[in-house]
Structure 1
Amino acid sequence: MTDSSRAPGVLHVVATPIGNLGDLSPRAQDVLRSVDAICAEDTRHTRQLLGHFGIDRPLLALHEHNEDGLAARLVERLRAGDSLALVSDAGTPLVSDPGFRLVRAARAAGLRVSPVPGPSALIAALSVAGLPSDRFVFEGFLPAKAGARRERLQTLAAEPRTLLFYESSHRIEEMLADAVQAFGGTRPAVVARELTKLFETVLDGPLETLAARVAADADQRRGEFVVLVEGAGEDADARLAEGRRVYALLSKEMKPSLAAKLAADITGAPRKALYGMGGGADSEATGG
């Protein structure tokens, strides 16, 4: 039962270090000490962080598998006057991490949700990349399966804004190789690894050069990665026009799906912008 004598609590969304523990702000520490409980993606990881700063508060596990069911109960705690903090394993919560369902439920209930800003791997990487930063697109983690990953990258080939991706050590080599195929080997890019940590590296250059360097050096395949790719330049429209011209010629001799693939490979134009443009999209292959 809600205690009507207490004002509703606040849900604090607290950014935590992505590597260097010195990046936990004094305000974040004060908030974490003051709340009634802390919602954490991995309570073991967060307990170690809190222990480093001498913070001892109750921890609640909140992750992608239980967030839907837990959000309503946490909203009731907030309504009853408890204040809560939401943290992820590293960086700013909700950025490729759980939490948005809880935030949405709290806001829908008319409760206060307050940010405690701080580290974010994607913003940290963007700030040191030397790529255009006035407009950018965050794509998070790409699909784990190769086919789906290549398809996603291909749809982004003509994107004019700087692209940012998160990637794991298990797939960084394959992801860069697929990016070379989707964007072309000469597209400027940056691979930021282990940001704020002891073995931080920020590599820049053409995609094909970066892909080769990472493939050749096992040390550059360890850790956590942010990959940034410069957006398509002013020649994007020219590539698309040439792709359509080549597609029109090839599609007279072969299935539209194959024609689109070859035209994309030849010109660097995005395959999805070519496939089926003539209106007769390979119905025998798709069952349409």
Structure 2
Amino acid sequence: MKALDGQVKLTPGLYLVATPIGNLRDVTLRALDVLGAASTVACEDTRVTRRLLDRYDITTPLSRYDDHSSEADRQRLIDRMLAGEAIALASDAGTPLVSDPGFKLVRAAIAAGVTVVPIPGPSSVLAALCLAGLPTDRFSFGGFLPEKRVARQNALNELLRQPGTHVVFESARRLPASLADLAALAPDRPVVVARELTKHFEEGVRGTAAELAARYQKEGPPRGEVVLVIGPPDEADAEAADLDAALRTALRDLSVKEAASAVAFMTGLPRREVYARAVTLSKAKDEVGDEP
């Protein structure tokens, strides 16, 4: 990537540059090379990216590219790269395309035959996973949890049924409500609230879902950026999640009694146990409204 005179020279293409999630010193040397040598840096918020570039005396022009950018905006960038320019894409923080705009631009670049080059670096997903102290041999990323309560509960229920550790984003404002939903579904599941990663007040708050729900119900929403890390199910949790999933499906079309009988027959579990759980799920369904 360097020319003979030591000056960085980039081949034409789209460079996906990971930027710091908090501490500006976390930027990689290669990222600085690319940001300095690119024809332009396409970014979500030019004010945010300008702070990073100013910190390292980089004067590359910035252009805005976000969720509201049009197909015409993408085509202008594609045309520039096809004409021989190297363009960097950066999100406000972390790795581009991870719950950030950029997917459509990458897809368009690939379709046009433009070279796409990842410049890896900071990621709040991996930082939170490493900080959590939960199993890392298998994990998933669930993006941002839905804002509406029922949709959020459904998303959490789906995650809780899957093996491995799960990482999700949540706003600080909605954290108490999300933890309450999580505690209702799996009160004993280990959870970590990773907050302000790489910043001065970085912390990892650990406990069961029930413990953390009680804590933030009392304290209220924390400040700053939040990443939730949810531990994997144990065998009992997995069986309970499978039972709940089967009952929820059956309750869509059957009465509580009929659903319990059908699921008990299918699973071989005691009918009395299945019926009691079906009653609980049915009551919860009736009581919960689709609210924030």
TM-score w.r.t. length of structure 2: 0.80
Q: Give the CA deviation at 1:9.
A: 1.3
Are 2:268 and 1:263 aligned?
A: no
Alignment correspondent of 2:257:
252
Distance 1:255 1:245, change over 3 A: closer
Between the aligned residues of both structures, percent identity stands at 45
1:193 to 175, 192, 195: 195
Structure 2 match to 1:65: 68
Q: Structure 2 CA distance, aligned partners of 1:264 and 1:130? A: 35
Tell me if structure 2 keeps the 8 A contact 1:15–1:92.
yes
| Contact 2:44–2:64 (Cα < 8 Å) also in 1 | yes
Could you list the per-position Cα deviations for residues 59-108 of structure 1 after superposition, in whole angstroms to 9, with x for gaps in the alignment?
Answer: 11100111533111111100000110000000000000000111111111
AA of the residue aligned to 1:227: L
The aligned residue for residue 232 of structure 1 is 233
Q: Secondary structure at the match of 2:227?
A: strand
Which amino acid in 2 is paired with 1:192?
A
Aligned pairs, how many? 258
Question: 3-state DSSP class of the match of 1:156?
Answer: helix
Is the aligned partner of 1:44 residue 2:58? no
Partner of 1:210: 212
**Partners of 2:110 and 2:46 in 1: CA distance:** 24
Q: Which runs of 5+ in 2 are unaligned?
A: 1-9, 262-273, 286-292
- Please report the TM-score for the alignment, with normalisation by the length of structure 1: 0.81
Counterpart among 78, 81, 88 of residue 78 in structure 1: 81
Q: Deviations over 1:10-54 (max 9, x none)?
A: 211000000001101111111101000000011111111111111
Distance 1:264 1:156 in 2: 21
Structure 1 contact 18–120 (Cα < 8 Å) conserved: yes
CA RMSD, Structure 1 to Structure 2 (Å): 2.9
Aligned structure 1 segments of 4 or more residues deviating by more than 6 angstroms: 245-250, 253-256
**TM-superposed deviation, 1:148:** 1.4
**What secondary structure, in the 3-state scheme, does the structure 2 residue paired with 1:252 have?**
helix
Residue 61 to residue 234, structure 1, CA distance change in 2 (3 Å): same
Question: Following TM superposition, by how much is the alpha carbon of 1:156 offset from its aligned partner in structure 2, in angstroms?
Answer: 2.5
Over 3 Å counting, the alpha-carbon distance change for 1:237 and 1:171 in structure 2 is closer
Secondary structure of 1:45's partner?
helix
Q: What runs of 5+ residues in structure 1 fail to find an aligned partner? A: 1-6, 276-288
Distance 1:67 1:225, change over 3 A: farther
Shift of 1:262: 7.1
Deviations 1:235-265 (A, max 9, x none): 2453257656898997227999xxx997268
Aligned counterparts, 1:121-140, within 5 A: 121-140=124-143
Worse-matched range after superposition: 141-150 or 116-125 = 141-150
Distance 1:241 1:79, change over 3 A: closer
After TM superposition, give the deviation of residue 162 of structure 1 in Å: 1.0
Task: Give distance in 1, aligned partners of 2:68 and 2:243.
Answer: 47
Contact 1:173 1:221 in 2 (8 A): no
Correspondence for 2:31: 28
C-alpha displacement at 1:112, in angstroms? 1.0
The amino acid that maps onto 1:50 is L
